[in-house]
Amino acid sequence: MINKKTAMVLGATGVVGTQLVKQLSNSHNYKEIHLLTRRHVEINEPNCTVHTVDFERLSSFAHLFNVTDVFICLGTTIKKAKSKEAFRKVDYDYVMEAAKIAKSCNVEKLLVITAMGANSKSAFFYSRVKGDVEGGLQQLAMKSVHIFRPSLLLGEREEFRAGEKISGILSSIAQFIFIGPLRPYRAIETKKVAAAMFIAAQTSTAGVHLYHSDEIEKLATSDDQ
């Protein structure tokens, strides 16, 4: 019997978001999938509707949040955002605003990507922002929140990031080194992060759940066992 769940994806055009949209669309678990994007894009996946929205006025689109599950895959870089303030706006402000709207709409599950090393007290700005997001999400006290902390992501991006490309190649070659206590630092494929998010959304567990990179990989492959 086909499920009648509905979903929303923010960041559907990103490196994880594109994989997640395919997972959701191909699963037959969702009758409707709403994609919120900052620019017009053509996504020809079954049951998907693209909504081009102004993230500065996200509350104006609150009616679109009347879904079962909300997946937040938003993220940028300081280089692309041009400043720390602009980076925080995307990676913290937009994420928290979406989460608050989702709570007001009684969304059953909120699934969010942060990053390995997320810590609000970190010396690194990037990690502090991600840590602030995690703290904010926990304070919202929603029904069910799933936070994913992937390490270096392996996947094709729209923009070329030389540092990540080189690191990804080296990590792929040296995967055998990252065993035992180093396993959580192993690079992970974007499609596995997407798979883990999808699988977590099909569970019925309440509360806040945090997945480190090695746990994400384990969850992503659990259906293969």
What torsion, rounded to 10 degrees, do the Cα atoms 119, 191, 146, 113 define? Answer: 40
**CA 170, CA 117: separation in Å to the nearest integer?**
20
Residue 121, classed as helix, strand or coil, is coil
Chain Cα centroid distance, residue 138? 16
- Do strands 207-212 and 144-149 pair parallel, antiparallel, or not at all (unpaired)? parallel
Q: Residue 1: its pLDDT value, please?
A: 39
Whether the Cβ atoms of residue 137 and residue 208 lie closer than 8 Å to each other: yes
| Tally of domains in the chain | 1
Q: Can 79 be counted among the known catalytic residues?
A: no
The whole-number pLDDT of residue 18 equals 94
pTM of the model: 0.87
d(CA 97, CA 84): 18
- Give the pLDDT score at 4: 86
Which of 22, 89, 126, 218 is an active site residue?
126
Tell me, what's the pLDDT at 183? Answer: 55
CATH classification of the domain holding 188: 3.40.50.720
Give the pLDDT score at 185.
Answer: 63
- pLDDT of 186 reads 78
Range of the domain at 128: 5-224
What is the pLDDT at residue 178?
Answer: 46
Of 100, 190, 107, 108, the C-alpha closest to 136 is: 100
d(CA 125, CA 147): 19
Q: Of 130, 191, 192, 211, which residue is the catalytic one?
A: 130
Averaged over successive runs of 10 residues, the pLDDT of the chain (225 residues) comes to 82 95 93 93 90 96 97 93 96 98 97 96 96 97 96 68 48 48 72 97 95 95 70
- Is 92 one of the annotated active-site residues of the chain? no
| DSSP H helices in the chain | 17-27, 78-81, 84-88, 95-104, 125-140, 162-173, 190-201, 213-220
The CA distance from 91 to 97, in Å, is: 11
User: Residue 111 and residue 9: Cα distance in Å, rounded?
Assistant: 10
Q: Tell me what pLDDT residue 177 has.
A: 46
